[in-house]
Chains A and B, each alone.
Chain A
């Protein structure tokens, strides 16, 4: 793709820095507040969609049998591949590695692979001959800053969710059992490491968590800390140009450790929820594959609803409170009355009144409760503005069509004439 990267103007830069000097961020977050994380699983094993604020990625784990590396004959292989999809930003090129994608890939590898989070020995089928190769494909769908955190959560959640087919051996032959024959086997994960990224401004004067696109561009440097739930460091990377004192790094890392714990907890809860869903459905229909329709609409639900984008006006809180607010969704529904209005409390002191045009019938469709098996769920459709003037287009092409029809007859006539000749 040819489109050049959008250049950040000096005014934007200055505005952002001035705001930082007054201890505010453009989206109203506190300095060490993160954007909300949503994790959704697809129908297939190891398919996971994660959104961090507006940034969203899709991770898919796949596996195949191959020969192990001669240096490690009893270990499986884990490959991570992050793809900057042209969907995410116009300057991303399809199928080509850029500096950014190589850097992200390496940082993710450091965090997930080099920290030995996955038990590779459990992936060995026969020493020196056959091992499982696990591949994680991460597609970035929307780039609004901090891909790394989002991708690391997605990769980890997808790996934790993934199940590989069972393999048995009868002496010589290896038999790969499909899902119907034997339950697939989950991965063995020793610990759950995630990346947590901070942006550094003014040589360490301001350190902000989970930078957005603009903040990333303006920042002097970024610091990415890989941590697991036991607060163990699994990777540390300082990129850019800023001299930071070791104390500052340590204090940031300890702040990040709390966050890592919360994220890992969220991943585990989501997987638990997914397993529950599958189990419940299984009881109804006795087959695993046909049931998980639910997750598709789950994916859709995960995608931006207008209120996650709305600005949250938080007053400055003490650290503990902030940590708390990461955990609890800040949207608190006060009531859901039937008269077509929804009151949503957005943070402290702000309440939104959202009209629901339920009776209209066109604005909102709901699940038809009658048949449980089918996935009749339809989502509220948000159209910001009517885009195409259909009427105009219609008349235009009708005119065209008329000429075509005539022409057609002409050619037919000609052909007939020819035949007569």
Chain B
């Protein structure tokens, strides 16, 4: 009976649960789902990690390539994130070119990386104006069950902290590149950004770490990213309005979670 009720009146179903201060998956409003991180999962990539937030699963792989820097920024390397949402991860995605949502999330991840300055692009320089590293950071979502950005950022940090770049020698006189695959070294990761997603249900209840179902039914989403003690992104792309107090409360709550996740990443690495 509950099944039919849920599919006929999904919002009402949720309201009934939330009125009792509990979510259908048994969590309280401010509880997050278990997080799992596995690093170095893919041999062929220069750095990789799999992160699981509840059911949401994201694989992150880093591939490094050598390229020439832009003339206006001769010392800067490149970091190109890309999130793929294949039909595999949720029935709402179709095969073909990246959907709008994938593009929006990719941009959000790129913004977070830039704002948190976790990678200094100058570190990726091998020889000024001639040779720099270009890191392709690819995310593939295997299971799309809400709070994808959280999972992406956890897997990103896992992958970045384990990524090793081969040693490259460049001779500017001969334009000769020698790559030593054996001798590898880590990329310097300057900070650990941690993202927390909230969903606003019915303009009043704020749910932490929402599932896909909750994200679909709710009226607004908020993503807060902490970098150590500083905020580096408070992203709320429209949706139901929040008061300043509610917003501050969300920020406070995400700060607590930041510590746990940071410890998780450090332990995994």
Contacts and interface: CB of A to CB of B under 8 A. Distances in A.
A414 B21 contact: yes
Interface stretch (A44-52, A308-316, A403-411): A403-411
Interface in A138-174: 174
Contacts of B29: 415
A408 B71 contact: no
Contacts of B205: 411
Contact of B71 (A176, A404, A415): A176
Interface residues of A, number: 10
Given A176-B71, A176-B72, A404 B204 contact: yes
Q: Is the interface of B mostly helix, strand, loop or mixed?
A: loop
Nearest to B129: A173
Interface string A182-220: 000000000000000000000000000000000000000
A418 interface: yes
16 contacts: A65-B71, A174-B71, A176-B71, A176-B72, A404-B203, A404-B204, A407-B203, A407-B204, A408-B204, A411-B204, A411-B205, A414-B21, A415-B21, A415-B29, A418-B21, A418-B28
Contact residue range for chain B? under 10
Interface string B189-207: 0000000000000111100
Interface string A394-421: 0000000000100110010011001000
A407 B29 CA distance: 15
A217 to B, nearest CB: 33
Contacts of A407: 202-204
B59 to A, nearest CB: 30
A411 B22 CA distance: 11
A167 to B, nearest CB: 10
A414 B203 CA distance: 17
Interface in B11-29: 21, 28-29
A147 to B, nearest CB: 28
A407 B201 CA distance: 12
Interface string B65-94: 000000110000000000000000000000
A415 B28 CA distance: 10
A396 to B, nearest CB: 14
Given A176-B71, A407-B202, 15 more contacts: A65-B71, A174-B71, A176-B72, A404-B203, A404-B204, A407-B203, A407-B204, A408-B204, A411-B204, A411-B205, A414-B21, A415-B21, A415-B29, A418-B21, A418-B28
B199 to A, nearest CB: 14
Q: Which 10 A-B pairs have the closest CB atoms?
A: A407-B204, A414-B21, A404-B203, A408-B204, A404-B204, A411-B205, A411-B204, A418-B21, A176-B71, A176-B72
A176 B202 CA distance: 55
Contacts of A408: 204
Contacts of B21: 414-415, 418
B235 to A, nearest CB: 23
Contacts of B71: 65, 174, 176
Contacts of B72: 176
A298 B205 CA distance: 49
Contacts of B204: 404, 407-408, 411
A65 B203 CA distance: 51
A213 B202 CA distance: 47
Contacts of B203: 404, 407
Contacts of A65: 71
A300 to B, nearest CB: 28
Interface in A370-414: 404, 407-408, 411, 414
Nearest to B243: A408
B240 to A, nearest CB: 9
Nearest to B72: A176
Contacts of A176: 71-72
A174 B204 CA distance: 59
A405 to B, nearest CB: 9
B130 to A, nearest CB: 11
A418 B31 CA distance: 14
Nearest to A176: B71
A408 B21 CA distance: 13
A168 to B, nearest CB: 13
